[in-house]
């Protein structure tokens, strides 16, 4: 017996083939950016306890990581430096030194794999003895003393061959100052992927373990955004667009899908989202305990970020997703 049910959406879910036919969102490895934690030295990989599967790597291993990712269809990368404590100071001097290992590794990657798209991180925290993204004076993060440091850092990175600069510091006015410095130095083709709406999030914990960059005092709430705010992200987007950002990023991703969607509707720039270290760690931990199906949960997370409006996703899952992508049906 049947009821009079005039609409039966289940018809479009009857088989894998019809589901494939009507699927609205497709995520491919080409949408992903794979973050690499790099360090000085040779032939070393140090595991990061809170990020199973992700290591800090020396140049030779970084080249191997890039080669492997490229073979899987992941063609974009962002590099973060794990700097020895002894090289850190209150002005992030090592980040501006032209012969630092971070720039050397970027050059090595671009010369071996010119087809790879490479993004930098611009912020003081990996090089700062305070662990903050700006200059600290009397316990305050001083915006305008930080701007020239960020601009100088961006220029040495552009010289090293990065395709895009990634300011992750959340100082006011930094995109404009960086754009101008790049143009004056002749780097008109170097892009800026701005961390537009970067929230003061608890989900960065494992990343700070990886770089040993936890702030020595205080927190980042005077520069990173309040997780309670969405409309403020539009204001940041206005500024970044006016100052010359080529892409806008929301970070973290999973708790901020509404912000991703809002920026996608608001802006004509490509939108990126950062599926951050804590989001990665949560899934890895639950999967290790056998409490969740790793591959399906990973695919669902990444697909949801894309569905919400992120054209581009920075994710530690990039290689695993690419491997699975060949067979994943959904
Ligand atoms: C800092 C920076 C952070 C991340 C990227 N760049 C951490 C922070 O703001 O403390 C976090 C990325 C992640 O958690 O995966 N400039």
Active site residues: 198, 251
Q: What is the pLDDT of residues 281-326, one digit of tens each?
A: 999 999 999 999 999 999 999 999 999 999 999 999 999 999 998 7
Residue among 81, 128, 206, 207 whose CB has most ligand 1 atoms within 8 A, to mutate: 207
Structure-token pair, residue 264: 């996608």
Length of the chain, in residues? 330
Q: Please list the alpha-helical segments (H only) found in the chain.
A: 16-22, 59-71, 101-112, 143-160, 174-184, 205-211, 231-243, 257-266, 277-288, 294-308, 318-325
Atom of ligand 1 nearest to the CA of 198: 9
pTM of the entire structure? 0.96
User: Which residue's C-alpha comes closest to atom 5 of ligand 1?
Assistant: 168
Q: Quick one: residue 101, left, alpha or beta (phi over 0 = left, psi -120 to 50 = alpha)?
A: alpha
279 close to 203: Cβ distance less than 8 angstroms = yes
Mean pLDDT of 248-272: 98
Mean pLDDT of 262-268: 98
For residue 287, how far is its CA from the centre of ligand 1 (angstroms)? 24
**How far is Cα 192 from Cα 249, in angstroms, rounded to an integer?**
11
Name the band, by pLDDT with cuts 50, 70 and 90, for residue 328: low
Q: Is the pLDDT of residue 83 over 60?
A: yes
Name the band, by pLDDT with cuts 50, 70 and 90, for residue 330: low
What pLDDT sits at residue 325?
84
For residue 167, how far is its CA from the centre of ligand 1 (angstroms)? 11
CA-closest candidate to residue 35, choices 6, 57, 11, 16: 57
What pLDDT sits at residue 326?
74
More confident residue, 216 or 111: 111
Q: What is the pLDDT of residues 6-54, one digit of tens each?
A: 999 999 999 999 999 999 999 999 999 999 999 999 999 999 999 999 9
168 lines ligand 1 (CB under 6 A): yes
User: Which residue's C-alpha comes closest to atom 8 of ligand 1?
Assistant: 204
Beta-bridge mates of residue 250? 197, 273
For residue 161, how far is its CA from the centre of ligand 1 (angstroms)? 22
Q: Is the pLDDT of residue 280 over 80?
A: yes
């Amino acid at each position: 017996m049947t009821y009079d049910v005039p609409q039966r959406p289940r018809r479009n879910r009857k088989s894998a083939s019809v589901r494939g036919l009507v699927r609205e969102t497709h995520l491919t490895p080409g949408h992903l950016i794979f973050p690499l934690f790099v360090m000085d030295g040779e032939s070393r990989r140090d595991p990061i306890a809170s990020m199973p599967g992700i290591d800090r790597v020396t140049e030779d291993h970084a080249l191997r990581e890039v080669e492997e990712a490229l073979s899987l269809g992941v063609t974009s990368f962002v590099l973060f430096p794990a700097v020895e404590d002894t090289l850190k100071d209150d002005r992030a001097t090592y980040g501006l030194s032209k012969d630092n290992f971070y720039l050397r590794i970027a050059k090595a990657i671009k010369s071996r794999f010119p087809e790879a798209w490479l993004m930098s991180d611009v912020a003081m925290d990996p090089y700062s003895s305070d662990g903050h993204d700006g200059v600290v004076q009397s316990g305050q993060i001083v915006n305008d003393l930080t701007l020239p440091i960020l601009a100088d850092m961006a220029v040495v990175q552009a010289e090293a061959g990065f395709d895009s600069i990634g300011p992750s510091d959340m100082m006011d006015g930094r995109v404009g100052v960086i754009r101008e410095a790049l143009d004056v130095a002749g780097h008109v083709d170097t892009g800026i992927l701005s961390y537009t709406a970067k929230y003061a999030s608890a989900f960065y914990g494992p990343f700070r373990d990886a770089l040993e960059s936890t702030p020595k005092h205080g927190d980042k709430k005077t520069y990173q955004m309040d997780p309670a705010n969405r409309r403020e992200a539009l204001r940041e987007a206005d500024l970044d667009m006016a100052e010359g950002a080529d892409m806008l990023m929301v970070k973290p991703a999973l708790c901020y899908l509404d912000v991703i969607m809002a920026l996608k509707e608001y802006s004509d720039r490509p939108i990126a989202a950062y599926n951050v270290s804590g989001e990665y760690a949560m899934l890895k931990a639950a999967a290790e305990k056998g409490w969740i199906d790793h591959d399906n949960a990973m695919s669902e997370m990444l697909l949801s970020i894309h569905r919400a409006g992120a054209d581009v996703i920075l994710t530690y899952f990039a290689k695993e997703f690419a491997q699975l992508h060949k067979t994943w049906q959904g």
